[in-house]
Structure 1
Amino acid sequence: MAKKALLMILDGWGIGPHDRSNAIYSTPTPYWDHLLATYPHSQLMACGEDVGLPDGQMGNSEVGHLNIGGGRIVYQDLVKINKSIADGSILKNPEVVSAFSYAQRTGKGIHFMGLTSDGGVHSSLEHLFALCDIAHEYGLKDVFIHCFMDGRDTDPESGKGFVAQVEEHCAATTGVVATVTGRYYAMDRDKRWERIKLAYDQLVDGVGRQSDNMVRAIQESYDEGVTDEFIKPIVNSTVDGRIKEGDVVIFFNYRNDRAKELTIVLTQQDMPEQGMHTIADLQYYCMTPYDASFTGVHILFPKENVQNTLAEYLSACGKKQLHIAETEKYAHVTFFFNGGREEPFEGEDRILVPSPKVATYDLKPEMSAFEVRDKLVAAIGEEKYDYIVVNYANGDMVGHTGVYEAIQKAVVAIDECVRDTVEAARSHGYEVIIIADHGNADHAINEDGTPNTAHSLNPVPCIYVTENRDATVRDGRLADVAPSILQIMDLPQPAEMTGNRLIER
């Protein structure tokens, strides 16, 4: 019999070992324990080839939601770009040819900027190395690299080693590390323009701590208690690596959300009140499309939109749906969940709850979860939606801080919100599937006892809240979730969805 369905995505809530490294296991979660004891549940793979990433690559929110909403394995930009480098087709990519030929012809500087780590969420070191190789083949000399330090998807003091690797590669090819700054400034995504301005002033005007040894300067930052994510701008005093009028810039991040704001101030919009102005005649190349509204920028690897996603299919079936999350994960339950589409489908409502304005989420571990819960419970009570998807952000966003006690507080808040959401859904005739998009809070401490701020490679839970006591749920992958939602709603599975149905009744 057809039911209404609610999909709850607990961001960063993986299945980890039963020890203190797992902040979820180490925190009292009475309602979560009740769910596991009462309802059928299984495990889903959320990383590597199961989600269209290279083998062994940790999953992330963008990839997770694309797979969940797509009902199929969605092969990621990382895999496509890797393939083009491996088979040499990147050398024939018309935008690559255009960028490097222009620099060769005009003698203008060429700048490679992006997240410099092996975290694999926003960028790849291999892509940066490939750009250096191509610059070397073109005989370019004025090649400047602007390293944004990670410390969220990698350990907080791993950046020094990544910059050393870049310098080693440059020595064998071409290029110089011109600037270093933390992603907290260069990759903000919450319109905190005062952060972006620090990166802008460094890139355009050379403002920052001057040093003739970038690796040593990073170590000095560590010694002062400032780790990768928060490193203040460091400028190489031995070169003039400023971005100038008519230069070429390649932003090698392939994930769009944290690449938008810096791109806006360099190419799209003057912000005189912030002292930021676009740069004339900049030849600006984005690795992938960052925003459909951007004009005058080149795209090295255009997106292929995913057709007939869960949201699109439910709309075509005349169903009413609601997508709800707080700011930090709103793009994930809308744009990414819908296969890279910004506009809602017919019959699709959206609720955005603002994330709290704090410097880091360990300062408010509950984030806006209770506000999301309240709006969600009210929407459930309206009984107008056939399908609802909600994302609770805390396990991931607080997990990224590495502050163990804060992660535990986040887990307690989520347990409460899950309880209230599930009980409201049950009382209004919904069946519920609870999953995660990837792990994080389940791996909060490294083997050496240091905080782990990155995602985990652990599988994620899949709990099926149903009154059918005979139901079971198979193990699977994220691509199997959408077909299972359709199964609950008694709708046929479209051909484009190649995932499997997980529920056995």
Structure 2
Amino acid sequence: MILERLISFQGRPGPVLLVIADGVGLAEPGAANALSLAHTPNIDRLLASPMSTKLNAHGEWVGLPSNSDMGNSEVGHNTLGGGRIFDQGAKLVDSAIDSGSLFESDVWKTVRERGLAGGTVHFIGLVSDGNVHSNIRHLLRILDQSHDAGIRSVCVHALLDGRDVDPRSAPQYLRILQSKLDQINQTADAGYRIASGGGRMRITMDRYQADWNMVHRGFNAHVHGCVDETGHLVTDAIDEVERQYATDPGITDQYLAPFVVTGNGQPVGKMQDGDAVVLFNFRGDRAMEISSALDDAKFEHFERGNFPDIYFCGMLQYDGDLKIPRNYLVQPPVIERTMGEYLCAKKVPSFAVSETQKFGHVTYFWNGNRSGYIDETLETYIEIPSDNLPFDQAPDMKSREITDATIELLISGKYRFGRINFANGDMVGHTGNIEATVQSLESVDACLGRLLEAVDALKGVLVFTADHGNAEEMFTEREGKRMPKTSHSLNPVPFVIADSSNDYAYGLQSGVEGGLANVAATLFNLLGFRAPHDYEASLIHFPKEPLRRTLYSGRVASLGLESFKPSEDDAEWVTMEIIRHPGSAVIAAVDRQNRVCLIRQYRPAASDWIWELPAGGIEFPETPDETARRELQEETGYSADQWEMLGSFYTSPGYSDEYMHAYKASHLHAGEQSLEAHEILEPHWLEIEKIEDMIRRGEIIDAKTITTMFLMASGKD
């Protein structure tokens, strides 16, 4: 796929710089809003500009299951760099289970090995189909796989919902679970059982560090098989839920007291050395604290007692910044055709700068969860080492160093696009220290002022945004008591374009509710390019730019309605149907006998068998040369040592932009074809004179073949 230039706007002379203020959302001013408390004249000026708007950075806007899911830096940068919305959370887990990739991961293999070595595999999570924190369907599928793998001992620690599902539905889900466990136990010499449980608001699933006692109760029930004075030792989980219902007719599942299942007076699921533990919740906010308790060697929030040697993993990594947990079953999605790939394909030089805490976000996550450079000759990545001390003790973090490095790159004149991340708002915000967070934002603002001045001097454009909120919501209040809130938020984030040269060449789209996925298309526009057709729409519009609306987008090409003026003197716009195509390559392969390979291929559009040269479409991010080599091998089985570019041409410029590149290939080596399932073709080696005669007689009617043979005969290059 090739980027096309805008007609009415070619970009500014200077670079486009994207500044991501990590964790800086927008909320009403107040005592909990560190942004409103801070002295930030540069941010204030940007937010008051007519080129300022708000973007959604949470929930479905970044691929998470519901709009009650907070955004995070990982999915935020995936969305910013990919220009589209990609499945995350529950959707990602569904795909990993259905494809089998979850069970092929090294993490699952370690879990399985512990189970096969005689250890018990423990599953902790919310047992319901609410699909907000978990889905019982995931658990049932993993239990089946555990059985198929030969794991004989499994314990389920069942957290009860009643919040995302009916308030008294726990027995229904426990019966589904127990039925699966009974089925496995009856078909094998296995011990699959429910070991502990309780309501999600009583044990284990605390968030925002509001009640570590809640986590402690769950930890003791799951790990040590013991309960405090609020809990119960029981022999059957379903009977215990029914008993609590009868004792307190008003109780709902989320507030059910903790319980531990026993047999012969002993807990049936106490964790031992050599066991493995899987937390099967996919949402992070209520999974992080129990993950820390089970996985962090330096955990200090409560005494863990005689803690066994377990292997712990989560369904996902719940916090990429803090690496919680260290091991997880489902990898983030691999995203194709990112903004970085398009820019490299167009030979646009770019840079990325951040400190260690967010360096992976402006590189790995921005690039679609890929490590390393896309093209080292076009990209520069700079990592500023983060301080090795609590962030609220040095709230400026590395904002000044990031700014210094960025300005040096800008004034070098080598780069058209840059992206940087200031980690302050998020990392200091996570500490809950309001004063330090205020100072951190003031540091970011001062650095932003320097960057605005540098970009303006270069006649460039600065774009200011964030990946999610945090610093604008530092605490909540309940019954007059302040509760520190160290997590991300559901608030929108700022989006501002600072372009002092903008003389109404473009403006913000009106009446559009946007999200982070709209940023990439906007950046492409500011660089003077049309965005790829399947990217989320740009946040800006160009009054003088011709209309382009995609009607259909397929595997090979897209069809759209496009308007244009036949000449500058015409007042009326003309609208036409245009086919957009990524381009293609055609190959005249010549052997030692001076014969050329023709393909006889059935073409449904022509309803006939057609003589033609090997050819095919460019697959992003291929170059035409790479396409030619691939198509020759796939269609004929041959490779070539010598290649000559014959020329390029439009195939049907009246209604299509397909641009075909013609090659001569020689010094051939035979191999095997690798045809696609739908391809029906036969390779034939014919003398050049015979092919020319077939063209004259009308036996060869394929335009690209006729054109390429002419180019080869005329010796044009």
Cα deviation, residue 25, structure 1? 1.0
Q: Trace 1:7-406 onto structure 2 (pairs within 5 A).
A: 7-55=18-66, 56-81=68-93, 83=94, 94-95=103-104, 106-110=117-121, 130=139, 134=143, 135=154, 136=156, 137=181, 139-140=191-192, 154-162=207-215, 164=217, 167=221, 171=260, 175-176=269-270, 198=297, 230-231=300-301, 234-235=304-305, 237=306, 241-243=308-310, 250-255=313-318, 257=320, 286-289=328-331, 303-346=332-375, 347-358=378-389, 360-406=390-436
Amino acid at match of 1:241: P
Structure-2 separation of matches of 1:400 and 1:184:
14
Q: Give the residue type in structure 1 aligned to 2:383.
A: L
Contact 2:62 2:75 in 1 (8 A): yes
Task: Report which structure shows greater RCO (CA 8 Å, sep ≥6).
Answer: 1
Any residues of structure 2 matched to 1:418-437 within 5 Å, and which?
418-437=448-467
Partner SS for 2:530: coil
1:473 corresponds in structure 2 to: 508
Give 1:440 shift. Answer: 0.4
1:494 is displaced (CA, Å) by 2.2
Tell me by how many angstroms 1:102 deviates.
Answer: 6.2
Kindly tell me: are residues 169 and 501 of structure 1, through their superposed partners in 2, closer, same or farther at Cα, counting changes over 3 Å? farther
2:486 maps to which of 437, 453, 457: 453
In the aligned structure 1, how far is the partner of 2:477 from the partner of 2:91? 30
Distance 2:72 2:352 in 1: 19
The total of aligned residue pairs comes to 409
1:214-263 Cα shifts (integer Å, max 9, x gaps): xxxxxxxxxxxxxxx7426613x4xx7323xxxx7544443584687986
Q: 2:494 aligns to what SS in structure 1?
A: strand
| TM-score (normalised: structure 2) | 0.51
Classify 1:330/1:232 alpha carbon distance in 2 versus 1 (closer, same or farther; 3 Å).
Answer: farther
Cα distance, 1:175 vs structure 2:
3.9
| Paired residue secondary structure (2:71) | coil
Structure 1 runs not aligned, ≥5 long: 117-122, 146-150, 189-195, 200-228, 264-284, 290-302
What is the identity, as a one-letter code, of the residue corresponding to 1:352? E
Deviation at 1:113, TM superposition (A): 8.8
The worse-fitting range, judged by mean Cα deviation, of 71-80 and 89-98 is 89-98
| Equivalent of 1:483 in 517, 521, 525 | 521
1:465/1:172 CA distance change after superposition, 3 Å: farther
| In 2, Cα distance between equivalents of 1:126 and 1:387 | 42
Which residue in 1 is equivalent to 2:243?
Answer: none
Instruction: Give the CA deviation at 1:383.
Output: 1.2
Give deviations 1:105-137, integer Å, cap 9, x for gaps.
Answer: 6532325699x9xxxxxx957689938993353
Find the aligned partners of 1:171 and 1:128 in 2 and give their Cα distance.
23
Partner SS for 2:369: coil
How far apart are 1:378 and its partner, in Å? 1.1
Q: Which of 529, 535, 538 is 1:498 aligned to?
A: 535
Distance apart, 1:163 and its partner CA? 5.2
Q: How large is the RMSD of aligned CA atoms in angstroms?
A: 4.0
> How many angstroms apart in 1 are the aligned matches of 2:261 and 2:92?
26
How far apart, CA to CA, are the structure 2 residues paired with 1:352 and 1:99? 33
How far has the Cα of 1:374 moved from its partner?
0.8
Determine helix, strand or coil for the equivalent of 1:28.
coil
Shift of 1:313: 0.8
Higher normalized helix content (fraction of residues): 1
Within 1, Cα distance between the matches of 2:193 and 2:492? 46
| Equivalent position SS for 1:24 | helix
Shift of residue 77, structure 1, vs aligned partner: 3.9
Cα drift, residue 472 of structure 1:
2.9
Could you tell me how far apart the structure 1 residues matched to 2:342 and 2:292 are? Answer: 34
What's the TM-score, normalizing by structure 1?
A: 0.70
**What CA distance in whole angstroms lies between the structure 1 residues aligned with 2:137 and 2:300?**
22
Q: Deviations over 1:3-32 (max 9, x none)?
A: 331111000010111222211012221111
1: CA distance, partners of 2:325 / 2:469: 28
Of 481-490 and 72-81, deviating more is 72-81
- Give the share of equivalent positions with the same residue, in percent: 29
SS at match of 1:384: coil
Aligned mates of 1:144, 1:389 — CA distance in 2? 48
Per-residue CA deviations over 1:147-195 (Å, capped at 9, x if unaligned) read xxxx9x932233432454574788479744679xx9799879xxxxxxx
Question: How has the CA–CA distance of structure 1 residues 485 and 93 changed in structure 2, closer, same or farther, with 3 Å as cutoff?
Answer: closer
Is this contact kept in 1: 2:428–2:436, CA < 8 A? yes
Change beyond 3 A, Cα 1:187–1:327? farther
